[in-house]
């Protein structure tokens, strides 16, 4: 069984103790992190190696964004892609060693732009960047046929697409992360694979499912005003391997937590 996890950690150096706690409890084979907020040379690689993650792929930058994939299993190849002519460290791709794993599995780790506060690209450059990013991502997946090979796409995609992915659909229709234009563009990204939503294969679409709870809510668990911003998608060839999926909600309640909870899937390979 192969366990792959994704987590927007919101500073890997600040919260390395939480990462270690998660690893010790849930033992992922591959862990994809977003918002590591450090340059490659500042990443706590030695700490991960002590935990058994000898294989590390980084795309970092100073103070913002950044993604990292750490693995117990050898990595055969690493690639990074820039989007919108802007190297803001939002993607890293690893191809797992087929000799070690049995299949040449490709894992894409993404941190899609959040988009700011105003859902209007005419007055909000951050929102315009998010929409452009999604358009470019969709075209790349389609043109390069990324999902034709055994592939997984994970990360903080910063969009809650379904009505049950947010605490209140009507209240959030004009809130960035759940606006119709974002949902439509994310649907095009999914269709460009096509990709299959692992989380919603396990949890039916009519059930509420969240991975993010705002820091602004001190009673986050009681209020439960969450959103599903973190995703795990898989190609058609990987879908039959899916055996389990979990959102580790309790991690949101750990000391000095990220506002995101980790998510993992188990694959029978």
Provide mean pLDDT across the span 232-240.
97
> Looking at the predicted structure, is the pLDDT value of residue 129 above 90?
yes
Per-residue confidence at 102, pLDDT binned at 50, 70, 90?
confident
Residue 182 has what pLDDT?
Answer: 98
Q: Over the Cα atoms of the chain, what is R_g?
A: 17
Pairing of strands 212-213, 106-111: unpaired
- pTM of the predicted model, to two decimals? 0.97
**Of 7-21, 32-46, 97-111, 227-241, which range is least confident?**
97-111
Residue 193 has what pLDDT?
Answer: 96
Give the contacts of 262 (CB within 8 A, at least 6 positions apart): 5, 6, 7, 22, 26, 247, 248, 251
Sheet containing 91-96: give its strands across.
75-79, 91-96, 106-111, 151-156, 230-234, 196-197
Provide mean pLDDT across the span 211-218.
92
Per-residue confidence at 99, pLDDT binned at 50, 70, 90?
confident
Provide mean pLDDT across the span 117-127.
97
Q: Any alpha helices (H) in the chain, and if so which ranges? A: 16-26, 45-50, 98-101, 125-144, 169-172, 180-191, 198-202, 220-223
> Looking at the predicted structure, is the pLDDT value of residue 103 above 90?
no
Please count the structural domains in the chain.
Answer: 1
Phi and psi based region of residue 71 (left: phi greater than 0; alpha: psi -120 to 50; beta: remaining): beta
13-51 pLDDT, tens digit per residue, is: 999 999 999 999 999 999 999 999 999 999 999 999 999
Provide the residue range defining the domain that includes 119. Answer: 2-267
> Looking at the predicted structure, is the pLDDT value of residue 83 above 90?
yes
Residue 54 has what pLDDT?
Answer: 98
- CATH code of residue 100: 3.60.10.10
Residue 244 has what pLDDT?
Answer: 98
> How far is Cα 80 from Cα 70, in angstroms, rounded to an integer?
15
Torsion on CA atoms 183, 188, 191, 193, rounded to nearest 10: -120
> How far is Cα 16 from Cα 256, in angstroms, rounded to an integer?
11
């Amino acid at each position: 069984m192969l366990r792959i996890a994704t987590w927007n950690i919101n500073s890997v150096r600040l919260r390395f103790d939480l990462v270690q706690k998660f690893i010790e409890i849930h033992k992922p084979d591959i862990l994809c992190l977003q918002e590591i907020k450090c340059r490659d040379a500042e990443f706590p690689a030695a700490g991960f190696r002590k935990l058994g993650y000898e294989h590390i792929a980084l795309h970092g930058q100073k103070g913002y964004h950044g993604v990292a994939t750490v693995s117990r299993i050898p990595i055969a190849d690493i690639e990074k892609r820039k989007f919108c002519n802007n190297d803001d460290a939002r993607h890293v791709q690893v191809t797992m060693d087929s000799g070690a794993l049995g299949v040449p599995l490709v894992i894409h780790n993404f941190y899609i732009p959040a988009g700011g506060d105003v859902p209007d690209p005419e007055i909000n450059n951050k929102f315009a960047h998010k929409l452009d990013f999604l358009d470019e991502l969709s075209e790349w997946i389609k043109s390069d046929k990324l999902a034709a090979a055994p592939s997984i796409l994970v990360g903080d995609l910063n969009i809650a697409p379904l009505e049950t992915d947010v605490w209140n659909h009507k209240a959030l229709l004009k809130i960035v992360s759940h606006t119709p234009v974002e949902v439509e563009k994310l649907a095009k990204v999914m269709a460009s694979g096509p990709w299959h939503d692992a989380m919603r294969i396990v949890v039916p679409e009519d059930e509420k499912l969240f991975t993010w709870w705002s820091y602004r809510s001190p009673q986050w668990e009681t209020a439960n005003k969450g959103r599903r911003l973190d995703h795990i998608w898989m190609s058609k060839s990987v879908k039959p391997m899916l055996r389990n999926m979990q959102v580790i909600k309790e991690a949101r309640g750990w000391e000095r937590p990220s506002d995101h909870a980790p998510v993992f899937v188990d694959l029978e390979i």
